[in-house]
Structure 1
């Protein structure tokens, strides 16, 4: 018995599924009788089958931090080979909700179907086998005759009108699983519907033949396009050589910058290791730079998005600087007002000093007048006995004047003291304002330093986000593979394999699952536990290698083994 090639079997199976999905879609669409939307089940199954066909034999491509395997790479080449595809490629890149390459590829397939150009786009891609060899293995479906057959079948889809809303769909997280129950029909149903479908099948064959004739008429135009594409290929090779020279210059500049930044990197040793690892990765990935040049357009679009974000941040920083400048102006105005108040207070103190001097002069004059009056009173006491009463009255009046002058002097002293206290307070406020201005200057310097650190952290964050996106795509694909393996293992063991969605708490410790507390299946009972309750491994009859089991199954299996041992 000759052993069949498993890749050939896979290609044949995918070709049969494509035939069934395209035929079922055309038949159901003609019987449906109106424009199809994204909720139509045969249309959803068609996109899932096309996704599996495009993924067959896809090479695993090494990216910046991990390995990537996506169909968006070969689909991006279509816009270079077929200029009319630039519109849908640009619209896919501009969609805000798409974050993964797989989601962009799914949106591209939907837009191509709405344009009724999917067969044309994939035909020009299949012709360029040398470009496809960079993305697919030699045994892939797109590299063999089955791919050309599927592209020929896609011509029949031009009779279908579709109106799909790409923005509203969550294309990044969809799980593409082929539903085989759609194609499993009983003989009675098929025999009862054959008479009703004969007319529709004849019309489909007619439309299909007409579309094939139209495609055959476009062969001459395709030859002209191939010539123009060869010319553009030579131009791209020249641009690639220029890009290589630019990369060499950038590497030299990178070495210079690395030598200049050694002093700065001594202060930040925890960042040094990350930078050295990135440089080692960059040196090891020199051979991938030629392929990266083809994806420069994609990087340009992403950089434009980052530039828009940086411009928004610059606007925010400018607004903060304007606010700081306004605060500085307000503080300077307050300083000017305080200086004016201080000058006024100094003028008032000078005036008070002048009035105090005048009062002191008056007091001295009054004292002199009192002394003179007393002397004259003593001398003329005997002579002017009759006039003593009048002199006493005058004396009492002068004493009253002295008392008034003393009270005025006390009031003036108290006023002077209050003014001196106010002056002292104003001086303290001025000193406080000066310290605040110095603090504002230091804060401004610290703000500029923080702004530079923020730019560095944002660049690091963008690199980490890109790495996380690639890791997420890789994890989604690995998760699909793990689910397939789990289903196969469940079929072999004949056990009830509990689904992830049905369990929210650990069955043993009853703790709720989260991002830190992940779910794990027991390979013996099929239930879901946390890592602490299922960290044991034992060999089972279904697998000779030790596999994960829960604590209860571990105790039961060990007890069985101990009882069986004599």
Structure 2
């Protein structure tokens, strides 16, 4: 990171110094086509992108350069005019294009150094957008901002509205800063290799921006490809017609030239015989010159047509490469969807195993309850036997008191029986205590079973949530396809929509957005709502097909239709 910061600082010094020197020698106001000015903006874009944090979105990963530049509006009220102008530009569709327009407007105001100085002084704000070792958070950022003060001597007149700032590839042209007085061949090779390596890294960084723009302009490119094919077919037909016409014209011209040459020979013979007819000879020569110039113009037109056809073919090849990239992205999204389906199947298998285990635990609980009932019945029988024994003992004691002398032997036998009964009673009490311990263990197992039931219900809820998320993702993919197919229809309305990053809660129900609660634009008012508050569909003037509208716009449009009907 330190080496990257040093390289960016050196490139900023070279670009700013070269821009100032060339502008002073140029002697007039600079415009957008001036190469040193274009390279300056490319270098500034690389400096501001260094260490930028990656934000994850539904379509992939994104580095938004517009985020930190938009914060300047809060630090300096004067920058609000630039930010408002950038938002009002109709041709800008990506955050990178807005950031490039902001840099050009700030340079025209001669406030670029002041705005960036205010931004680098607020480390707490920049830490939300940049890594710890980024250029904007280190000393190199302050040095670059100090160098930008020298650009106040330059007057720039830039037309931001007509430029295609969304799809430009920011590659640094190092050939503008190479020295011309190098004599050592080895030094030249080292410098060439270094330039190629840096260009490769910058191209890799720019590919991510190209992929993002390709995802958004897929349908537009397909239509442009069809239009380009039709234009190529028309150009080929026109070229064939022009070639046939050119061949006919050449044949006629050759015939006329042959006739003119014959006439010229006749006229020369006549001129030798007599000095008359000089004016007619001059007219024939002028006509020959006109025919030769027409032939040259036809050849030039044929060359221009061939050049135009080659350019169209190169454009077709580029469009095919871009279409292949979009197909690769679609394949990657399909693979991700298959992996999510595999995860869902694993979750379903786990739930099935848990249900089977729950059924086994339920059967075990029924068996334990049956054993508990049997133990209670045995304890009740033992208590009845004890009561009967007491009653018999009382009766026998009464009879023994009356006949002690006569029943001594019976008394001894009864005492022996009593001892046996006491031992039996003790045994029954021990069995009762063991049964109570068994009941305590069964109660603990029942509590564990209740906990397993709660875990099973929680897993069922999680399964339901996962199924809902999967359905919402499939719906989002379908909506994404619909949006890609309808992007040409809604290009004029997208600029009026609210930006996704500015909305964190639904405007109607004020619930916070999350992965399961997605954001949806109302096609009528452009505000952002959740799926529940925007599940209505109505045809609008811009689209004959029914499109998504919020509940408020749905009620308003229905009321308006009913009033128009009456």
TM-score class, shorter-chain normalisation, is 0.3 to 0.5
Q: Which has the higher contact order (CA 8 A, sep 6+)?
A: 1
TM-score by length of 1: 0.36
